Amino acid sequence: MKRIFDDALKGAYNDIDVAQNTEETVDYKQVATLSVGALVAAVFGILGFFWTPFIAASLIGLTLGILAYRKILRAPDEITGGKFAIIAIVASAVLAVSSTCWRTYTYFNSAPPGYVIVPFDSMALTKEGEIDPKILELDGRKVYIEGFMYPTKQHAGIENFTLVRTVGHCQYCSPGQNPADMIAVQMERGHTVKYRANKSVAVGGILYVDPNWRSEQGAIPYSMKANVFH
């Protein structure tokens, strides 16, 4: 009886040893956090079809995916997540190219006939703080410019507003703010618009440039009589 009990107890110890050895041989690999970050950035890159700045998310996803894949190749026994990295790289590359092409196509094909498409960045002042001569030549011409509406208390039936270069242009009267980043827009009689918060808008109309404007004046050098609002 004692021998049977000893054998059973011995077998129990052997089972414990086997279990311990099994646990010790478990091969654990860490998932590369860069791969996860690349996938998240790629998802946000989808918004690039609707808002140009989000194209940068696709580029970030592409960069993180490449870095993650290189890191995994250097330590394949310790780090996993290669499939995630590859998916992020391919998705980000496709999104970056396709969203850029789409935004370019829609921008250059949205202007009405007879309107000159003017990028807001091209309206920046020269190094001397003066209006660029190329912009002065647009005085009195029909232009089409994309920007953002500066917040107003009125949300509908708006007849005039300030168009700013980026969505971050709040408190535009603060010291150091570039007045060339703003356009005073007056809608033509019978035309009113609704306020669009944090969304890009395209405005078309006759551009007026003050040839006597100086940076020390602090006023806005550009104004527009608009009849197009997209």
The predicted model scores a pTM of 0.60
Residues 6+ apart with CB under 8 A from 13: none
The helix (H) or strand (E) run that includes residue 173 is none
Residue (of 196, 181, 204, 191) closest to 50 by Cα position? 196
Q: What is the pLDDT of residue 126?
A: 87
Which ranges in the chain belong to alpha helices (H)?
2-24, 33-45, 55-74, 82-108, 133-136
- Judged by average pLDDT, the poorest of 17-21, 132-136, 186-190, 201-205 is 17-21
pLDDT tens digits, residue range 176-193? 567 888 999 999 988 999
Domain ranges of the chain: 16-108, 116-229
What's domain 116-229's superfamily in CATH? Protein of unknown function (DUF3299) (2.40.50.870)
pLDDT tens digits, residue range 108-125? 777 888 999 999 989 988
Are 173 and 196 in contact by the 8 Å Cβ rule? The answer is no
